[in-house]
Amino acid sequence: MPTRVRSYSKINLGLAIGPAREDGFHGLTTLYQTLELHDLVTVEAGRADVTRLVLSSNEERVPLDGRNTAWKMVERALERMKITAQVSIHIDKRLPVQGGMGAGSANAVAALIGLERELGASLPGPERLELAAEIGSDVPLFLLGGSVLGLGRGEQVFPFPDLPGFSAVIAIPGVGVSTPQAFRDWDALSLTQPGKPDKLEQLSLAYASVYAKPGTSGIFQSSPPPEGQGGCLDDLAENTLLALVRTGIENDFERVVFPVHPSLREIKHLLMGNGSGQALYAALSGSGSALFGLYRSEADARQAQQRVQDAGTKAIVTQTLPRSLYWTRMFAE
């Protein structure tokens, strides 16, 4: 019986870009957050004398060979486990290609999880993360789920205290954004800004300050209020996010992507809204082109969805997905 795995998406709650490193990559600091929106990855595998991979998809833009992240993940996982197998993978794409939502990276992790269940074998945890980092910078986050701090080039991942759940709207424009080109544009911009402060350190400190213990430099106490002093889980959710927003979190990619694609800036404004029902936070996800807004209620999210759709852009209402639900809902059976 084939194994079907929900391949969840992500957004970036802030993303700071550092200078190019000697290895050609840029240092990053970001806070990933997984969402309920997902592709479906179906894996059927059995041990065999020779390894053979077959990949299919309902989306013609998905490569069906060794260029695909799911193919790379399965091939290298089998090598590390010293297993030969016949493997069939089908990717039912529901997420945008080149959308900045980590769809291809999540497909790779979903394929690995499906493969391990099919074969009754798995890699040790640290080796799985090591392999994921080889496949791509934002692949390892999908081995954790929930709120995840990403450092290095994004592949060094650390579980972050889960943010309480939010309604979200994902806007999916009809344009694609090239991540390599966005980095090149960033480098060109940075050359004109000598002596700027270390943004990676600034954003890392901002994230840490939100959850610092009371009496220290923290700007928000993440534990529930004492009994009799008011407050509720909804307030906790809103205040946690607002605490992050007050630190000045932003996505550096917006500075180079919006001038090239000005329509994306307008979509962000629509997501944000104004007055009652406006977003708590809205931003580009990764290098785009998808954008997101987070809201106090589903009703507010539905209003934002309507604003974006009225302007001619596809928009989907979803929810943030904490770590526990990420894993309990992984298998689609």
**Catalytically annotated residues:** 10, 138
C-alpha separations of 121 from 85, 208, 287 in Å: 12, 37, 35
C-alpha separations of 126 from 50, 143, 157 in Å: 27, 11, 12
Among residues 313, 302, 320, the alpha carbon closest in space to that of 264 is found at 313
Query: How many other C-beta atoms lie within 10 A of the C-beta of residue 255?
Result: 16
The Cα 36–Cα 46 span in angstroms is: 30
- Can you say how many angstroms the Cα of residue 147 is from the centroid of all Cα atoms in its chain? 9
Among residues 313, 29, 14, the alpha carbon closest in space to that of 171 is found at 313
The Cα 14–Cα 83 span in angstroms is: 40
What DSSP string runs through 287-330?
Answer: TSS-EEEEESSHHHHHHHHHHHHHTT-EEEEEEB--HHHHHHT-
C-alpha separations of 191 from 27, 44, 187, 196, 260 in Å: 16, 49, 6, 10, 18
Please check whether residue 284 is in contact with residue 253, taking contact to mean a CB–CB distance below 8 angstroms: yes
What DSSP string runs through 14-68?
Answer: EEEEEEE-TTSPEEEEEEEEEEEEEEEEEEEEEE-SS-EEEEEES-TTS--STTS
3-state secondary structure 220-271: CCCCCCCCCCCCCHHHHHHHHHHHHHHCCCCECCHHHHHHHCHHHHHHHHHH
